């Protein structure tokens, strides 16, 4: 089945530093999503990308959908303590013909730890 390779597995950075993480796949995806998960909670959507080459920002977050449709990256600028958590990339293969949504394939996550 489809697999997503997410890296790095963990990051220890200083507050104020920029962060970069990425995901690669052996398969093509039509949609790339980036989620953040806090302890004891479900993942929360940060950014969604729907078109190859698309570059999207959400505040200090920037994500890109790779041209080959097999990769995506997420950057966080000027990290702050509340950025701590686990970041997941997720890919979706396409629209189910019935008009609903397909299931997502998730990467293993990047644990972001920020030292004040």
Partner 1 sequence: DAGVIQSPRHEVTEMGQEVTLRCKPISGHNSLFWYRQTMMRGLELLIYFNNNVPIDDSGMPEDRFSAKMPNASFSTLKIQPSEPRDSAVYFCASSFSVTYGYTFGSGTRLTVV
Using the rule CB under 8 A, is 59 a contact of partner 1? Answer: no
Q: How far is the CB of 8 from partner 1 (least distance, A)?
A: 15
CA-CA distance, 116 to 105, in Å (whole number)? 33
SS3 state of residue 6: strand
Tokens describing residue 112: 């972001």
Using the rule CB under 8 A, is 45 a contact of partner 1? Answer: yes
The Cβ-side half-sphere exposure at 68, using a 13 Å CA radius, reads 9
Stretch that binds partner 1, among 7-15, 56-64, 73-81, 106-114 (CB under 8 A): 106-114
Binding site for partner 1 (CB under 8 A): 30-31, 33, 35, 40-45, 48, 50, 88, 92, 94-96, 98-109
């Amino acid at each position: 089945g489809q697999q997503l390779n997410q890296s790095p597995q963990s990051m220890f950075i200083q507050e104020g530093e920029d962060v970069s993480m990425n995901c690669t796949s052996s398969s093509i995806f039509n949609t790339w999503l980036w989620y953040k998960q806090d302890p004891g909670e479900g993942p929360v959507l940060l950014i969604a990308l729907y078109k190859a080459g698309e570059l999207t920002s959400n505040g200090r977050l920037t994500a890109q959908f790779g041209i080959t449709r097999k990769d995506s990256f997420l950057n966080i600028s000027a990290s702050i303590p509340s950025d701590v958590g686990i970041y997941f990339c997720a890919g979706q293969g396409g629209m189910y013909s019935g008009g609903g949504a397909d299931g997502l394939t998730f990467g293993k996550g990047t644990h972001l730890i920020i030292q004040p």
